[in-house]
Amino acid sequence: MAVAVAAPHPAAVEAARAVVGDGGNAFDAALAAAGALAVVYPHQCSVGGDLVAMVRAAGAPVRAVVSVGAAGRDAYVERMPLRGPQTVTVPGVVAGWAAVQALGARLPLSQLLAPAVQLAVDGVEISAGLRTAISAAADVVRADPGLAGVMLGPTLVQPALARTLDEIGRDWRSFYANERLIAGLKALGVTLSADDFGAHSAEVVEPLRRTVGEVTWHAAPPPVQGATFLAVAGSPSLLADSRRAQAARNALLGDPRGGPISVDGLLLRTREAFDLASEPPKPTGDTVAVTAVDDEGNAVTLIQSVFESFGAGLLEPGTGVLLHNRGTSFSLDPAHPAHLKPGVRPPHTLCPTIALTSGGVVALGCQGGRAQPWILAQLAPDVFTADPADLVTRPRWILRGDDLILEPGVPLPGDPTGLTVTTTAGPHDEAGHVQLSRLHAGVLEAGSDPRADGLAAITP
């Protein structure tokens, strides 16, 4: 079997290549890459983070996998900090891996995580992106003994994480009953209990859909911002609609477990008006995306994240698990749909998408925080026609609140009235790290964004 795969680090693609060589398909390739990234890209993802994926088994409908962890039963703050123990919600990655594996993988999870275990044991060279992140967050890294013990060496060696990954491979449910982890988190000040961990499960749900011309786009429902991407995909007035969609998302996105969510409002199907400039601070670090499509038509786009660079700034040393800080996305306004409540999930920036036509399938995803919908929408018209390597390299613009950031060579995408416009000196990290895999007219292709450390390949 041949598989097109794209990921933001070469070690992830090599892990995918190994499992495809053992008989794996696109599901196996994506999961092996995701496991490797949890080892080599800890500033952006971890087994202590969350996962959202869009998957399509050949001949079957597209499904959304939403493995977003909830706030604990003792969750309460008067003011939410940016990092630290109060920002930690239950990690969803591991349950998400298991859900994706069950939907179409050929190999057991132990085999899919074996490359990641070996990377953690042997150690890897610190990539350029990770080195930059360590430098930028030096105070955060040095302040936590777990982080400092792993990140400040000449190479990234993680024996405790290797043991945890090995345990997950043998029985993924063990992660949510890991007494060492829960006790270690308590020692760090995290109030999540064994019951909070045990209550977590990944949702496998119907995606939201939008057809533009001959292409049908699929994205995850709330608490994920998939509706925001669908609201602007194919828009002839992309900047104006992105501003409206940004405002609607900031006002309306939350967890359906906490109360009704206006999906029509998020899709811009209502006449509601919101503050165009209202935007939370941009997270640094954010996410990783992996895409994989095989010659049978199986397709996976998977995103996992610790939110801020190095998440909560806490690495539990006994298990090697770095914790995310997704709790910072909660609102403390009781009237807001994203209001912090026990058992409720925070709103999520993750925005993977799958596109289908009668002749092919595209798996598409990116890093880029809350700007992911407009980053992907700029590529959307050409995902079945352009060369993938060229498409992910094209200069882009980024909307964030009332800031419009242009990479060189990008014309103004619309009326900038009310926006502060700046142009970067060159390709910029904030323009996202796009990963794209495609099967079209029987041909497999892939592209990996040069703004990251990644690689695209057709395996074997």
* CATH number of the domain to which 80 belongs: 3.60.20.40
Q: pLDDT at position 77, please?
A: 82
DSSP conformation class of 250: H
Q: Do the domain assignments include residue 406?
A: no
Residue 445 burial class via C-beta count within 10 angstroms: exposed 0-12, middle 13-18, buried 19 and up:
buried
Tens of pLDDT along 214-236? 999 999 999 999 999 999 999 99
Residue for token digits 């209990």? 193
Task: Domain count for the chain, please give it.
Answer: 1
Q: pLDDT at position 413, please?
A: 94
Query: Per DSSP, which regions of 340-452 are E strands?
Result: 353-357, 360-367, 397-400, 403-406, 420-423, 433-440, 443-448
Residue 193 burial class via C-beta count within 10 angstroms: exposed 0-12, middle 13-18, buried 19 and up:
middle
Q: pLDDT above 90 covers what percent of the chain?
A: 90
Q: Do the domain assignments include residue 213?
A: no
pLDDT > 80? residue 199: yes
Structural domain span for residue 340: 3-205+287-397+433-459
Catalytic site residue from 287, 291, 328, 459: 287
Q: How far is the C-alpha of 276 from the C-alpha of 340, rounded, in Å?
A: 23
Buried b (16+ CB within 10 A) or exposed e, 26-56: bbbbbbbbbbbbbbbbbbbbbbbbbbbbbbb
Q: Do the domain assignments include residue 237?
A: no
Tens of pLDDT along 269-319? 998 777 765 566 554 556 899 999 999 999 999 999 999 999 999 999 999
Q: pLDDT at position 211, please?
A: 98
The confidence band for 9, taking pLDDT boundaries of 50, 70 and 90, is very high
3-state secondary structure 137-203: CHHHHHHCHHHHHHHCCCEECCHHHHHHHHHHHHCHHHHHHCHHHHHHHHHCCCCCCHHHHHCCCCE
Cis peptide leading into residue 283 (ω within 30°)? no
Residue 21 C-alpha from the chain's centroid? 26
Contact 209, 218 (CB under 8 A): yes
Q: Do the domain assignments include residue 169?
A: yes
Average pLDDT for residues 263-271, to the nearest whole number?
94
Tokens describing residue 115 = 């490359």
The confidence band for 96, taking pLDDT boundaries of 50, 70 and 90, is very high
Q: pLDDT at position 286, please?
A: 63
Q: How far is the C-alpha of 408 from the C-alpha of 420, rounded, in Å?
A: 16
Tokens describing residue 276 = 């165009």
pTM equals: 0.96
Q: pLDDT at position 279, please?
A: 62
Going from the C-alpha of 97 to that of each of 60, 174, 208, 450, the distances in angstroms are 19, 13, 21, 26
Q: pLDDT at position 429, please?
A: 84
Q: How far is the C-alpha of 254 from the C-alpha of 28, rounded, in Å?
A: 31
Q: Do the domain assignments include residue 176?
A: yes
Is residue 287 annotated as a catalytic residue, yes or no?
A: yes
Q: Do the domain assignments include residue 322?
A: yes
Q: Do the domain assignments include residue 404?
A: no
Beta-bridged to residue 275, according to DSSP, are none
Q: Do the domain assignments include residue 225?
A: no
